[in-house]
Amino acid sequence: MKIITIEEEAWKQLNNRINAIADYLKRQEENSYDDLWLNNHEICQYLHISEKTLWRMRTKGEIAYSKLYGQYFYTIGAIKDMLNANAVQTSDEYVKELMARGKSYIEKGRKLNTGKQ
């Protein structure tokens, strides 16, 4: 193991640069895509729905949008809000039962290929 020594001022400068990089990375992680605007086609691909379904959602007021020169735009945040508003809440018992059924299905119904003959 080698020991490297540097001057105190050089160490402080290096440490400040490392902290600045760490702060920058933290700020990048905090940025969300909620304000990103998408058009009809992109939303339909994102949600795996048809343009007709998207039109129905828009006319029923289920999804927030903006219209500019005949084109409709939506934010990722509006999509998340719509999905969260329509989320179905289930009981813990139902989730446990569902997990047990899935485990049973995997154990009984599937033959996993382990690579051994």
Residue pLDDT, tens place only, 25-69:
887 766 667 788 899 999 898 888 999 999 999 999 989 999 999
Longest dimension (CA), the chain: 70
- Residue 97 confidence class, pLDDT cut points 50, 70, 90: confident
Check: CB of residue 81 under 8 Å from CB of residue 64: yes
Residue pLDDT, tens place only, 3-25:
888 899 998 999 999 999 988 88
Whole-number Å distance between alpha carbons of 61 and 57: 6
Question: Encoding tokens for residue 107?
Answer: 């154990």
**pLDDT value of position 60:** 92
Mark 1-10 as b/e (b = at least 16 C-beta within 10 Å). Answer: eeeeeeeeee
